[in-house]
Structures are given as structure tokens and as C-alpha cells.
């Protein structure tokens, strides 16, 4: 994945290779600007082309390489195949339409495809079909009263925007994300909702396509801490209920540890470590992962200032030769400063046979770092 800007080109994604097994949650973690969001956007081909250029690589979804798919077929992958939740719910809902209509549109698209009425739709990449199953029961209701009563009365006066059946399904998806009064919420506009509520709507909208893969791009970063916890709890519960694969992107290692089964650590457009979440946290095999872990506040020990990682992510247009991390690495040696970059290799299999790979010449020494 490259960006072409003016006469210059730089690589935003490089050598990122992993598998996302069915019904598992893979977390992607890294600093700002490391390419994790670019990765999230590259999979459903949301990056604007130009300036983004895909030089090489594959995104295989249900046996189809999405990067080779003609552009006009991409919409049929989205929604029912791959769903996405974005970072800022304020911006990711269309300000001009009622939220009910926006969710209804996603439901409508899926229903058209289920009935074979969508001419662009590809059967071979059809969404996971859990439509015949009972809708999951809503758990505890967490949505608080936040809309002024005047708005409520007016909202009730507005007629339902869609057909009865569609309307019912929209309501059921809003109940799924623990919205306790969906009849009222559907006729509100995004700006009349709180941030947490908007993100619930976004989640409901993504889930209503019943996607096989859900990409959550920092879904809680823009929210208040308390709302963040609510939304994370909701997502955690939903993971059990809706059975899709999830790619969870976050800069917060704590969130990743909570949500993910496997973790990929990214640095400067490279995937530098990938493995089961427990393994990565207990025995990281890359000095960058170690440094990230060290900077998590520990609530039991407070020994002076938190350690922080000196320096910053290199500018993608001026990448250092060799290992991208060597300027900031405490164990860098000569071999790290020259090409080629360290290969992405698997560690000797652990007792449970899980694969744990990292891109470091000296993975054994990482354990000895402070």
C-alpha cells in the first residue's frame, strides 16, 4: 500500500500479513501514525485511489482476493460481508437523515441481498446467515435519559419512516445494542443523540448487515471514559451473541487485552509482532512491544514517572534503512541498521502450539530488557 503525493511516493503499509480466523477477535495496536487505521481501511478498499496505490499484496476474504475484485463489485462485499465501525460517531452518521432511516437502509440492503434482488451482489461472498436464528435478547438496559422531553414529544409525532416489517427489524437491532426506547430514538437526528448513543447506532448499523468480518477502528477512542467502558462492555457482550470475526484496532493496549484473542503490533507501517494475546503480554518478542507494555500504568506500583519511549515514529517518506525501529531500539546492533529488514518469523511453538511471530533479529534478548 503506497501513497503517491506530488513526485513522491511513500509506503504506508508494508509486509503486513496475518490471518483472521472465523469468530475470533484480532486486535491491532500501535502508536498514532503507525498505519493501523490505514490497514483497517485498506481491507474493504476505502482508501481513496489516487493517492493510495496498492502495489502488491492480497486481502483474501472468503476465498476472494478483494484487491483483485473490480471496483464495481466492492459494494457487494461491504455491509453483508465486511462491516465497519469508525472512530468518531459524531462524523460517521449522516447529519441529514434520521438515525432510524440510516439503520433501515443497512437492513434493507441486506434483505435485498438475502432475497437475491441486488444485481451487483455476489453469492460466493454472501454474509454469515444468522437471520433465521432468534435475535439475541437484549441484556441490561444502559441507555440513560438524555433527550429533553420536548424533543421526545416531537419525535413521537413523526411518522415511522419505513415499512412496518423493516421498521420492526430496525427496532430489534437497536434493542440488540441495549437502546431501551428505540421507538423514540429512530426518529431523532444524529445531532440530537449523545456520543455513546451515536456509537451504539453505528454498531447496530454495522451489525444489521450481518457481516462476516467486523472492523472496529478505534470505536471508543473519541468517547468519554465512562461511556467508553459502557460501549466496550456492550461490544464484549455482542461478540458472544453475533458470532462474527472482528478486527479490533486500538492504540490502547488495555482495551486490546480485554477484547482480543490475538494481537498484532504495528510500527511504521510494519506488522512487527503477532500472536495470542496472553503470549504477547507475557513474553513479547520485539523490543517495541516491550516498550509499549512498559508504558501501561500499573495500578499497584507507582515508582515515579511512567517510562515513556523516547523519539517518535519515523516519517514514512524518510524511513531508516534496515529495521524501522532501530533508531529507538535499546538493543539495536549493526545488523539492524542495514538492509534487509528483519524477517517476520515464528518463535518456536509454545506448549499450546499457537503461532507467535515477530520481526526482530534478537527476539530472545527482549525478555532481558527492563
Partner 1 sequence: MGRSKGDLVVFIGKRLLQLIPVLLGVVLITFIFTHLAVPNPCAAWAGPKATPSVIKGCEQFYGLNKPLPVQFEDYIVGLVTGNWGIDPLTHTAVLPSILAAFPATLELVLAALFLMVVVGIPLGVVAAASSGRVADHLVRIFYLSGWSTPTYIAGAVLFIWASKEFGLSGGAFSTITSPVPTITHMSVVDAILAGSPSATADALEHLVLPATALAFINMGVATRMTRTSMLETLPLEFVKTARMKGLTEFWVLYKHALRNALITTTTVLGLTTGAMISGTVVIESIFTWPGVGLYAYDAITSYDFNGTIGVVIFFAVVVVVANLIADVLYGLLDPRVEWR
Partner 2 sequence: MASATASAARAAAAGSVEEEPSGSGVRSSVVLFYRILRANILTLVGFVLVVVVSVTALLVVVVPPITHLILGHSLSILPYPPLDTNAFPYYQAPSLAHPFGTDQNGADVFSNVVAALPTDLGIGFFVAGVSLVLGGLLGLVAGFWDTPGTLSGAASVTIMRLTDIFLSFPTLVLALAITATLGRGEIESEIAILATWWPFYVRLTRGEVLSIKTQPYVIAARAAGVPESRILFRHVVRNLLEPLAVYFTMDVGTVIVTYSTISYIGVGVPASIPEWGNLMYGYQDLLLTAPWTVWSVTGAIFVTVLGFSLLGDGLRDILDPRSRRIVASPGRQSSKLEPSS
- Does position 166 bind partner 1 by CB under 8 A? no
Residue 72 interacts with partner 1 (CB under 8 A): yes or no: yes
**Partner from partner 1, partner 2, none binding residue 38, C-beta < 5-8 Å depending on class:** partner 2
In this complex, which beta carbon is closest to partner 2, that of residue 62 or of residue 108? 62
Region of residue 289 (phi > 0: left; psi between -120 and 50: alpha; otherwise: beta): alpha
**Interacting partner of 344 out of partner 1, partner 2, none (Cβ under 5 to 8 A depending on kind):** none
What is the smallest separation between the CB atom of 96 and partner 1, expressed in angstroms? 5
CB-nearer residue toward partner 2: 128 or 187: 128
Measured from the CB atom, the residue of 77 and 332 that comes closer to partner 1 is: 77
Of the candidates 343, 346, 364, the one whose C-alpha atom is nearest the C-alpha of residue 284 is 364
- Residue 3 C-alpha cell reads as 501513497
Q: From CA 253, how far away is CA 89, in angstroms rounded?
A: 22
* Contact partner at residue 55 from partner 1, partner 2, none, CB < 5 to 8 Å by partner kind: partner 2
Q: Which residues contact partner 2 (rule: CB under 8 A)?
A: 1-23, 32-33, 35-39, 41-43, 46-48, 51-52, 54-62, 82, 86-88, 128, 212-213, 217-218, 221, 244-245, 247, 249, 251, 315-318
Q: Does 82 bind partner 1 (CB under 8 A)?
A: yes
Residue for cell digits 486486535?
Answer: 27
Tell the smallest beta-carbon distance from residue 121 to partner 2 (Å): 17
| Residue 159, binding choice from partner 1, partner 2, none, Cβ under 5 to 8 Å by partner class | none
Q: Smaller CB distance to partner 2: residue 185 or 249? A: 249
For Cα atoms 247, 265, 209, give the angle at the middle one, nearest 5 degrees: 5
16 in Cβ contact with 28 (< 8 Å): no
Exposed, middle or buried, 360 (CB in 10 Å: 0-12/13-18/19+)?
buried
Minimum gap (Å) between residue 343 Cβ and partner 2: 10
Specify the residue for cell string 435485498: 112
Question: Is position 101 an interface residue for partner 1 (rule: CB under 8 A)?
Answer: no
Alpha carbon distance 367, 276 (integer Å): 17
Distances (CA, A) of 53 to 32, 67, 69, 71, 208: 21, 11, 15, 14, 31
User: How many residues in total does the chain contain?
Assistant: 370
Question: Out of 28, 59, 93, 170, which residue is the one contacting partner 1 (CB under 8 A)?
Answer: 93
Residue 323's binding partner out of partner 2, partner 1, none, with CB under 5 to 8 Å set by partner kind = none
Residue 247 near residue 262, CB atoms below 8 Å? no
- Return all residues near 135 (Cβ < 8 A) that are at least 6 apart: 172, 175, 176
For position 97 contacting partner 1 by CB under 8 A, the verdict is yes
* Residue 79 contact, options partner 2, partner 1, none, Cβ 5-8 Å cut-off depending on partner type: partner 1
Q: Which is nearer to partner 1, 202 or 239 (CB)?
A: 202
Residue 92 or 228 with smaller CB distance to partner 1: 92
Can you name the residues that pair with 273 across neighbouring β-strands?
265, 358
Element housing 346 (H / E) = strand 345-346
CA-CA distance, 162 to 147, in Å (whole number)?
Answer: 23
Kindly list the distances between the CA atom of residue 269 and the CA atoms of 157, 194, 222, 324, in Å, as whole numbers in the listed order: 51, 34, 23, 9
Nearer to partner 1, 205 or 292 (CB): 205
Q: Give Dmax over CA atoms of the chain in angstroms.
A: 72
CB of 220 vs partner 1, minimal distance in Å:
15
The yes or no reply on residue 44 touching partner 1 (CB under 8 A) is yes
The residue ranges that bind partner 1 (CB under 8 A) are 41, 44, 46, 48, 72, 75-84, 86-88, 91-97, 105-106, 109-110, 113, 120, 150, 154, 189, 191, 202, 205-206, 209
Amino acid at each position: 500500500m503506497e501513497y503517491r503525493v506530488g513526485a513522491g511516493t511513500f509506503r504506508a503499509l508494508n509486509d503486513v500479513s496475518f490471518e483472521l480466523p472465523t469468530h475470533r477477535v484480532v486486535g491491532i495496536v500501535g502508536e498514532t501514525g503507525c498505519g493501523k487505521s490505514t490497514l483497517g481501511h485498506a481491507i474493504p478498499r476505502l482508501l481513496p485511489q489516487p493517492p493510495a496505490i496498492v502495489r502488491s499484496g492480497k486481502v483474501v476474504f472468503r476465498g476472494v482476493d478483494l484487491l483483485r475484485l473490480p471496483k464495481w463489485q466492492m459494494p457487494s462485499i461491504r455491509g453483508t460481508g465486511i462491516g465497519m465501525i469508525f472512530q468518531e460517531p459524531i462524523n460517521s452518521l449522516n447529519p441529514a437523515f434520521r438515525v432510524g432511516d440510516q439503520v433501515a437502509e443497512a437492513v434493507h440492503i441486506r434483505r435485498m441481498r438475502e432475497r437475491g434482488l441486488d444485481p451487483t451482489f455476489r453469492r460466493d461472498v454472501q454474509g454469515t446467515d444468522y437471520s433465521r436464528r432468534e435475535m439475541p435478547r437484549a441484556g441490561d438496559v444502559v441507555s440513560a435519559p438524555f433527550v429533553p422531553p420536548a424533543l421526545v414529544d416531537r419525535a413521537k409525532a413523526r411518522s415511522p419512516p419505513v415499512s412496518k416489517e423493516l421498521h420492526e427489524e430496525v427496532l430489534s437491532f437497536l434493542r440488540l445494542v441495549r437502546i431501551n426506547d428505540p421507538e423514540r430514538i429512530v426518529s431523532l437526528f444524529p445531532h440530537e443523540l449523545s456520543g455513546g448513543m451515536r456509537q451504539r447506532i453505528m454498531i447496530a448499523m454495522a451489525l444489521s448487515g450481518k457481516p462476516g468480518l467486523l472492523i472496529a477502528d478505534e470505536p471508543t477512542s473519541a468517547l468519554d471514559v465512562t461511556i467508553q467502558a459502557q460501549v466496550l462492555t456492550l461490544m464484549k457482550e455482542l461478540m458472544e451473541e453475533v458470532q462474527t470475526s472482528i478486527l479490533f484496532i486500538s492504540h490502547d493496549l488495555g482495551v486490546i487485552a480485554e477484547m482480543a484473542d490475538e494481537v498484532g503490533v504495528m510500527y511504521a507501517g510494519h506488522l512487527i509482532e503477532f500472536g495470542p494475546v496472553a503470549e504477547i503480554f507475557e513474553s513479547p518478542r520485539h523490543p517495541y512491544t516491550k516498550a509499549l507494555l512498559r508504558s501501561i500504568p500499573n495500578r499497584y506500583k507507582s515508582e515515579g514517572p511512567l517510562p515513556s519511549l523516547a523519539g517518535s515514529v519515523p516519517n514514512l517518506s524518510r524511513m531508516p534503512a534496515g529495521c524501522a525501529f532501530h533508531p529507538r531500539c535499546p538493543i539495536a546492533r549493526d545488523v539492524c541498521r542495514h538492509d534487509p529488514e528483519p524477517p517476520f518469523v515464528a518463535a518456536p511453538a509454545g506448549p499450546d502450539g499457537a503461532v507467535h511471530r515477530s520481526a526482530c533479529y534478537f527476539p530472545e534478548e527482549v525478555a532481558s530488557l527492563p
